[in-house]
Amino acid sequence: MLTRMRPTFSLALAGLILVSCQSMVGEPPTDFEALQDAGNALVAYERGDCETASRLSDPRQLARWESTEIRHSMLLLNGFCKELGGDLEAARAIYDRLIAEEPDSFAAQDAKERSRIIRINESDPTHASWMREARDRAMSAESSTSERVPLERQPAVFPPLAQLSGVGGYAVIEFGVTPAGGTTDPVVIESSPPLLFDGTAVRAIRRWGYEPRRSSSRNDVQVIRLLFQSEDPAPSMTEPPSTGPPSTEPAPTDPATTGPSNETTDSEVDR
């Protein structure tokens, strides 16, 4: 009788072990594990390894995570990888999900910017060539320089996941300044790592103000590079170089200011 019961007992034990393992798989990661995965994912992304970044930020895995800004930023990172890989439909689905589920998060604000750019590219076939022309203008040694005096430059917010992971970079933005001193149509024409600092840079520049120039009826076009250095709570501001890719070297500190924000000279070119 005991002999006949052994197989049944073994099967029951195996079943209990399987259920226990499945329960563990479905459990959310610890705070340490989540932070470790997030840091590894962004470092991989910085190195251009979207395969690793996508695996670590897989939405199916993130479904187990607690609803935190880091979790939302990981989902955004997965959308970045899909967009860079050319899968715009999947990228927009992730962005729309973030906007719908976590509208007040930092990641959702970036997702709105990316969705906007995707819509522009789909509706305007000439936008990609215009972007190339804008970058050429910004990097051209023939660009004239004429400073519009800034009155207000609120710093961009350092993305939470980048701050956590110690990842820095830059974004070069072209934008218009109206005769009244407001900014208009900020566009990222160069950034590294790609997309990571685009949204926060654009949102900051929309809030900037310049000294009015009543003698002119046209918008002046400015180009500025925002440097994001991981040890700083806010980015520095410098003029982009006349040729070649933007440098990530820190701008010289203005002794009259405190904190990481530095004085800058903008490039002005005619659109």
Q: How many CB atoms lie within 10 A of CB 197?
A: 27
Q: Could you say which architecture CATH assigns to the domain 31-123?
A: Alpha Horseshoe (1.25)
Judge contact between 184 and 175, C-beta under 8 A: yes
Task: For residue range 159-179, list pLDDT tens digits in order.
Answer: 999 998 999 999 999 999 999
pLDDT of residue 266: 46
**Helix, strand or coil for residue 193?**
coil
pLDDT of residue 235: 52
Q: How many CB atoms lie within 10 A of CB 193?
A: 20
Average pLDDT of the segment spanning 91-118: 96
Q: How far apart are CA 34 and CA 43, in angstroms?
A: 14
Residue type, 261: S
Q: How far apart are CA 107 and CA 74, in angstroms?
A: 9
Q: How far apart are CA 97 and CA 62, in angstroms?
A: 13
Token pair for residue 269? 């070119």
Burial class (CB in 10 A: 0-12, 13-18, 19+), 110: buried
CATH number for region 132-269: 3.30.2420.10
41-44: long-range contacts (C-beta < 8 A, 24 or more apart)? 41/74, 41/77, 42/77, 42/161, 42/162, 42/164, 42/165, 42/167, 43/165, 43/167
pLDDT band at 140 (very low <50, low <70, confident <90, very high): low
Judge contact between 183 and 206, C-beta under 8 A: yes
The rounded mean pLDDT for the chain is 78
- Considering only residues 33 and 241, tell me which one the structure prediction assigns the higher pLDDT: 33
pLDDT of residue 232: 53
Q: How far is CA 258 from CA 232, 239, 252, in A?
A: 12, 19, 12
pLDDT of residue 191: 95
Domain boundaries, the chain: 31-123, 132-269
Task: For residue range 141-162, list pLDDT tens digits in order.
Answer: 444 445 788 898 889 999 999 9
Q: How far apart are CA 246 and CA 174, in angstroms?
A: 13
Tell me, yes or no, if the two domains 31-123 and 132-269 fold the same way: no
Q: How far apart are CA 192 and CA 46, in angstroms?
A: 8
